[in-house]
Structure 1
């Protein structure tokens, strides 16, 4: 076998190995892209579910606050009308979430003390549990949304890699039909560089197994 023929065979063998590696890498990238797309889908679903729950909790919290406000206004009206028995009646029926801040506010003699808070709703003790839960769920929803965005980026990166690996397969595949040794060598070298760079880049991506 002549030297040029041996070189042709050698480059074709190298191209075959490069194509085999590129094929495996392409399959891996396709798998990773699919997995990350699934992570994105689940994260978006969770975020949407949580946001709906947040809306429900906000509505419920508003209803609770309106009840508290109604009782407070009824108390004030009774007190200003000097109906102490009626005022006490409303005061005794304040729910715990409002009673605690009200009593601390009332202890500061707000009707005579100009430095007292304007009303009990500005007291730090006034907390509607549904608002707290809604805040927590909103934070989790935002975290899930961020996860979905990151997962989408990972999926797109893996798809981009499949395109690059496809280029390696293309260059490697046409080498067997190239008779010019210098051209064949050039294509093999380009394939090697693309494959090496792509594999190194791929190793920087997060991997997910399912």
Structure 2
């Protein structure tokens, strides 16, 4: 058999080998992208749950601070009335029942000559739950942003799955009974798209 007759056969075998290799690698990459999309989707759900939990706790802490402020306000109102009435015994009685947080602000208010409108406007007054509410709200915001980021990462891997599906399509079409140059073009396009997909995938974070 002459070389001219064996050359097309050899080229066809090479194309078949490359096609099988590309199909196998692309199938693995597609499965990997699907796995990563699922993992990041799970991370998104966890982050959203944590954000929701932190938001609920922040609301509870804000309620605690609001209740404490109302209690302190009612006590201070009674103190003002007792002082105006000149009832020192009642005034002392009320002062002994100030909450620790309000007592600190009240002492600072008196030490400052009572120039401010009241202890509540001073920085020293921090009812219980105030700091916790701020911290929990910040945590909720951070977790929410993290959830959105994880969602985008999952979407990115899902898009790569579509890209690798295109590689599978082009590679499978190259196996059809067609002219050798058509097979080479389809396979070449599939390889190029696959390489681009791999390069993009290497820039994405991995979650195991």
Query: Which TM-score band applies after superposition, normalised by the shorter structure?
Result: over 0.9
Q: Which residue of 2 aligns with 1:84?
A: 88
Distance of 1:93 and 1:71 partners within structure 2: 8
Distance of 1:178 and 1:194 partners within structure 2: 22
- Superposition pairs of residues 117-128 of structure 1, within 5 angstroms: 117-128=116-127
**Does 2:17 match 1:13?**
yes
**Does 2:61 match 1:62?**
no
CA displacement 1:3-41 (0-9 Å, x = unmatched): 222222212221211111100100110110010001001
Q: Which moved more, 1:1-10 or 1:127-136?
A: 1-10
State the secondary structure of the residue aligned to 1:129.
coil
TM-score, with length taken from structure 1: 0.94
Q: Which residue of 1 aligns with 2:108?
A: 104
Does the 8 Å CA contact 2:109/2:119 hold for their aligned counterparts? yes
Does the 8 Å CA contact 1:12/1:175 hold for their aligned counterparts? no
CA displacement 1:34-91 (0-9 Å, x = unmatched): 1000100111111111111111111111111000000001100110111121111111
Q: Which residue of 1 aligns with 2:189?
A: 190
Q: Which moved more, 1:178-187 or 1:35-44?
A: 178-187
**C-alpha displacement of 1:106:** 0.9
State the secondary structure of the residue aligned to 2:129.
helix
Distance of 1:3 and 1:55 partners within structure 2: 77
CA displacement 1:161-195 (0-9 Å, x = unmatched): 01111111111112111321111110111011001
TM-score, with length taken from structure 2: 0.95
State the secondary structure of the residue aligned to 2:98.
coil
- Superposition pairs of residues 37-186 of structure 1, within 5 angstroms: 37-110=41-114, 116-186=115-185
What runs of 5+ residues in structure 1 fail to find an aligned partner? 111-115
Does the 8 Å CA contact 1:58/1:130 hold for their aligned counterparts? yes
Aligned pairs, number: 204
